[in-house]
């Protein structure tokens, strides 16, 4: 079972019979189907009763990869991974561990899974979590890797720690005494999805935008337009809507957020600031937030994005698979 908290961290268990962590779950009993088996294991391990009806992945595990004596290996093993959903504080508080087997549970950043789990278990968990974000339905895996990789798999999303900004979001303008250190934009396509960039070498996600430079002459919109061109070869319509700002209580600085209609996507270009060619994808705002670690203040920013979307006359996007934009794209066809 893949279970996350409201920050997108994934639940792992420390058990008394292995040195590595596991996802909740276990082996099925004789003649027991996988989904009821997962629900039973959840009751036994966490004391939680819930319906298990959303699959994320089916993994074929070769005999050679099993960490077991040769006499105990099967010709291969089939593992089903189900979606346990996002748990709030009350659901997490309701966890009750058994007297034996499960020593503790914790929610961890997905990038930590390879250091906490066996290699195959970590690959499977990350593949299943990417499948949940991508929303294209269950995926087929072989030894933890998808046989038809999505853009999130190819980019290696979640293998490095997500951008962490647990800063309060303020809908009003930034106080004049705060220096602007960052300007990012929620650029919304005609179908309501937002442009998200993935770094090709780390898989890390970011919104288009960046730090002001002297040539911007203190104009945050000039910063945003320049950074959007450099990072994504994109243009946005005018006038952008100001959403608000984030401020760090320990630093006299502000990070500005805007929303605007995405009007043009040219051929990908190398970002002169980094020398990288970002991978461009369209994702719903909700999917985008799952690729960040912005903490609970992210909900306030998400609400501001949807308010701006309504003002811009852009429809709300249904959850759907991420769309990679590797070439110049006619946005009217989306």
Cα–Cα distances in angstroms (integers) from residue 279 to residues 75, 266, 300, in the given order: 39, 13, 27
Strand partners, 218: none
**245: how many CB neighbours lie within 10 A of its CB?**
24
pLDDT at 331: 81
| pLDDT the model gives residue 72 | 55
b/e 84-116 (16+ beta carbons within 10 angstroms → b):
beebeeebbeebeeeeeebeebebbbbbbbeeb
Res 251: pLDDT: 86
Residue ranges of the chain whose pLDDT lies below 50: none
Q: Decide if 125 contacts 117 (C-beta within 8 A).
A: yes
DSSP 3-state helix, strand, coil percentages of the chain (rounded to 5)? 30, 30, 45
CA 116: distance to chain centroid? 19
Paired with 13 in beta bridges are 22, 105
Sign of the torsion formed by the C-alpha atoms of 221, 222, 228 and 234: positive
Between β-strands 145-146 and 194-198, what pairing exists: parallel, antiparallel or unpaired? Answer: unpaired
In this prediction, residue 248 carries a pLDDT of 84
What pLDDT does residue 71 have?
61
Closest CA to 327 of 266, 260, 245: 266
CA 184 to chain centre: 18
Instruction: Give the other-Cβ count within 10 Å of 230's Cβ.
Output: 18
In whole angstroms, give the CA distance from residue 242 to residue 248.
19
What pLDDT score was predicted for residue 43? 97
pLDDT of residue 29: 94
Give the CA distances from residue 322 to residues 219, 285, 288, in Å, rounded to whole numbers and listed in that order: 32, 11, 10
Neighbours of 15 (CB within 10 A): 17
For the beta sheet containing 102-108, the strands, ordered from the edge strand earlier in sequence to the opposite edge, are 102-108, 10-15, 2-5, 76-87, 55-62, 139-142, 145-146
Whole-number Å distance between alpha carbons of 257 and 8: 22
Residues in the chain: 334
Helix (H, G, I), strand (E, B) or coil at 192: coil
pLDDT exceeding 70 applies to what percent of the chain?
Answer: 97
Q: 260: closest CA among 200, 298, 214, 220?
A: 220
Task: Determine if the pTM surpasses 0.75.
Answer: yes
Judging by DSSP bridges, how do beta strands 2-5 and 76-87 pair with one another? parallel
Q: How far apart are CA 166 and CA 109, in angstroms?
A: 14
CB neighbourhood size of 228 (10 A) = 25
Q: Tell me the per-residue pLDDT of 39-54, one tens digit each, with 9 for 90 and over.
A: 999 999 999 999 999 9
| Nearest CA-CA partner of 169 in 187, 157, 186 | 186
Q: Using DSSP, state whether 199 is helix, strand or coil.
A: coil
**Long-range contacts of the stretch 90-99 (C-beta < 8 A, 24+):** 91/48, 92/5, 94/47, 94/48, 95/46, 95/47, 95/48, 96/46, 96/47, 96/48, 97/45, 97/46, 97/47, 98/44, 98/45, 98/47
């Amino acid at each position: 079972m893949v279970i996350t908290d409201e920050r997108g961290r994934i639940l792992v268990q420390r058990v008394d019979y292995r040195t590595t962590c596991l996802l909740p779950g276990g082996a099925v009993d004789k003649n027991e189907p996988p989904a009821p088996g997962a629900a039973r294991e959840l009751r036994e391990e966490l004391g939680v009763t819930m319906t298990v009806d959303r699959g994320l992945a089916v993994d074929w595990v070769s005999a050679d990869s099993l960490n077991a004596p040769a006499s105990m290996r099967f010709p291969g093993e089939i593992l089903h991974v189900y979606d346990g959903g996002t748990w709030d504080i009350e659901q997490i508080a309701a966890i009750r561990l058994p007297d034996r087997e499960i020593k503790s549970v914790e929610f961890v950043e997905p990038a930590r899974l390879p250091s906490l789990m066996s290699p195959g278990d970590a690959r499977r968990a990350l593949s299943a979590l990417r499948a949940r974000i991508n929303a294209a339905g269950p995926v087929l895996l072989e030894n933890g890797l998808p046989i038809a990789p999505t853009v999130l798999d190819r980019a290696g999303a979640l293998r490095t720690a997500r951008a962490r900004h647990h800063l309060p979001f303020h809908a009003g303008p930034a106080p004049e005494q705060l220096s602007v250190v960052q300007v990012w934009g929620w650029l919304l396509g005609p179908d309501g999805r937002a442009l998200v960039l993935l770094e090709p070498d780390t898989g890390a996600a970011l919104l288009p935008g960046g730090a002001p430079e002297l040539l911007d002459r203190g104009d945050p919109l000039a910063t945003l337009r320049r950074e959007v061109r450099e990072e994504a070869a994109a243009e946005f319509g005018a006038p952008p809507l100001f959403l608000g700002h984030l401020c760090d209580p320990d630093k006299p600085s502000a990070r500005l957020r805007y929303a605007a209609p995405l009007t043009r996507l040219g051929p990908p270009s190398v970002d002169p600031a980094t020398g990288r060619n970002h991978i461009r994808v369209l994702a719903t705002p909700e999917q985008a937030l799952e690729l960040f670690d912005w903490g609970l203040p992210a909900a306030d920013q998400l609400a501001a994005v949807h308010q701006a979307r309504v003002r811009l006359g852009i429809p709300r996007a249904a959850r759907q698979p991420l769309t990679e934009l590797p070439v110049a794209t006619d946005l009217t066809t989306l």
